[in-house]
Structures are given as structure tokens and as C-alpha cells.
């Protein structure tokens, strides 16, 4: 299984020579503890031709079980669900091909960086639209990561820090001393929950 959304298109001439157009849909599992929220998301995403909602879950345990049984390409995860960070970490252990798209985040640096560090492959901020949601899911399905220029710069700086730490470890043969998290990198308080408008 691949987490890839692609249309292998061909021109009419090529199709006449035996080439076939294949559409690979992205299998999505929705994880949110508010029933109206997850059912609303399921209805919206089900209208998209490139997406297939394979199930909805309300807890960490249900997400892990569904991940094993349904083998989604992407888990769309409300980060306000209980044990959501653990869900991100364990999803890749259940199946390395499963990617997580986080929703319910602010666009603050600390919030997004914290999610990236635990393994989130994409995110939609609280200010995002339904179009942003679909674009984020499809981009992760293609192996891409949509983010603002600000967040891209923040992630590059974080990668630079990790590279320096790895270089230090290689030179000295020891783990670098853990650095305290700067205030700017701390995740903000959990935002208030919002409704999905159809």
C-alpha cells in the first residue's frame, strides 16, 4: 500500500495504444472525539473524488484498532482528542505507510513544530477552510507538506539545530545534552473546539 494520490493520465493517442488511466484514491480515517465533528468531516471529505473515508473513530484505542483493520493511507486527527500525541507516534508503528494530518492547531510556530517532531505529516490550522483541509490531505497523499512560509522557515531552522546536534554526537561519540524548549517553541494552550460548517 502506498500513501499516494495520483492520476496517471494519458493523451488520447497514448490511450489508443493501450495505455490506461488509473486513479488512486486516498483512504482516510477520521479520529475526533466529538461525534458531530467527525461525522461532518466524513460527509465533506466523502464528496471529494480523490478521497475515500474508510471510517471514523473517537478514541486512541479505536484509532489503533482501525489502523490495523482498515489500513488507511491517512489518519485525519483532531489534536484535542485524548492521547492524540500518542496516536501520532503509534500510527507509524501500526503501519509505517500511515500518515497523520493534524487538525485543531493554531498556526503558531511552537504548535506546528511540536507536531512535526512527533511525526505529523501535515496539518490544517484553526483558521483553515474546508478547501485547505482537502488540499492538506491530498498533498500528504502525494508525499508533500503544505505549510506557510513562516512555518517552513521554522522547520528548516529546527532541522539545522538537529543536524548540528547530530554532528556534535558524531565528533564526540556521545549524545548531546538535552536543550530546554524555548518559550516560542512551546505548544500554545489547547484552542477551543470549533464546528465544521458544510
114 and 160: one domain?
A: no
Asked if 172 and 137 sit in the same domain, the reply is no
Same domain, 45 and 57: yes
DSSP 117-157: HHT--EEEETT--HHHHHHHHHHHHTT-----HHHHHHHHH
String of DSSP letters for 70-130: H--SEEEEETTSTTHHHHHHHHHHH-TT-EEEEEEE-S-HHHHHHHHHHT--EEEETT--H
Question: Tens-of-pLDDT digits for all 198 residues of the chain?
Answer: 233 333 333 333 444 455 554 668 999 999 999 999 999 999 999 999 999 999 999 999 999 999 999 999 999 999 999 999 999 999 999 999 999 999 988 877 788 888 988 999 999 988 889 999 999 999 999 999 888 777 788 888 888 888 888 887 776 665 545 454 444 444 444 445 544 444
Q: What pLDDT sits at residue 172? A: 63
Rounded CA separation 175/168 (Å): 8
Q: How far apart are CA 61 and CA 82, in angstroms?
A: 10
111 and 166 fall within a common domain: no
Give the domain range for residue 158: 150-183
Residue 94 has a pLDDT of 92
**Are 30 and 97 in the same domain?**
yes
Q: Which residue in the block uniquely carries the three cell numbers 488509473?
A: 22
Element (DSSP H or E) covering residue 5: none
Q: Which of 129, 147, 165 is the last residue of a domain?
A: 147
Together in a domain, 95 and 178: no
Beta bridge partners of 6: 24
Instruction: Give the full edge-to-edge strand order of the sheet including 99-105.
Output: 51-57, 26-31, 74-78, 99-105, 122-125
* pTM strictly above 0.85: no
Q: Considering the domain boundaries, does residue 21 fall inside one?
A: no
The verdict on 160 and 141 lying in the same domain is no
**126 and 165 share one domain:** no
Total domains in the fold of the chain: 2
Do 161 and 65 fall within a single domain?
no
Same domain, 143 and 154: no
Question: Does 77 share its domain with 40?
Answer: yes
Task: Report yes or no on 17 lying in a domain.
Answer: no
Q: Are residues 105 and 165 in the same domain?
A: no
Q: Is residue 191 part of a domain?
A: no
The answer to whether 51 touches 25, Cβ cutoff 8 Å, is yes
Burial of 46 (0-12, 13-18, 19+ CB in 10 A): exposed
**Helix (H) / strand (E) containing 30:** strand 26-31
Amino acid at each position: 500500500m502506498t500513501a499516494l494520490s495520483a492520476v496517471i493520465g494519458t493523451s488520447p493517442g497514448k490511450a489508443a495504444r493501450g495505455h490506461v488511466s488509473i486513479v488512486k484514491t486516498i483512504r482516510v480515517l477520521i479520529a475526533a472525539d466529538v461525534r458531530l465533528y467527525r461525522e461532518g468531516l466524513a460527509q465533506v471529505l466523502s464528496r471529494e473524488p480523490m478521497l475515500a473515508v474508510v471510517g471514523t473513530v473517537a478514541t486512541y484505542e479505536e484509532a489503533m484498532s482501525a489502523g490495523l483493520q482498515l489500513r488507511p493511507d491517512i489518519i485525519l486527527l483532531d489534536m484535542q482528542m485524548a492521547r492524540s500525541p500518542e496516536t501520532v507516534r503509534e500510527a507509524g508503528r501500526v503501519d509505517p505507510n500511515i500518515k497523520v494530518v493534524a487538525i485543531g492547531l493554531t498556526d503558531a510556530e511552537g504548535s506546528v513544530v511540536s507536531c512535526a517532531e512527533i511525526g505529523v505529516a501535515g496539518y490544517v490550522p484553526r483558521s483553515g477552510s474546508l478547501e485547505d483541509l482537502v488540499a492538506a490531505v491530498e498533498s500528504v497523499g502525494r508525499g508533500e507538506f503544505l505549510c506557510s512560509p513562516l512555518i517552513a522557515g521554522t522547520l528548516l531552522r529546527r532541522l539545522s539545530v538537529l543536524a548540528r546536534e547530530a554532528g556534535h554526537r558524531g565528533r564526540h561519540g556521545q549524545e548531546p545534552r538535552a536543550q530546554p524548549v524555548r518559550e516560542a517553541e512551546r505548544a500554545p494552550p489547547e484552542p477551543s473546539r470549533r464546528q465544521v460548517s458544510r
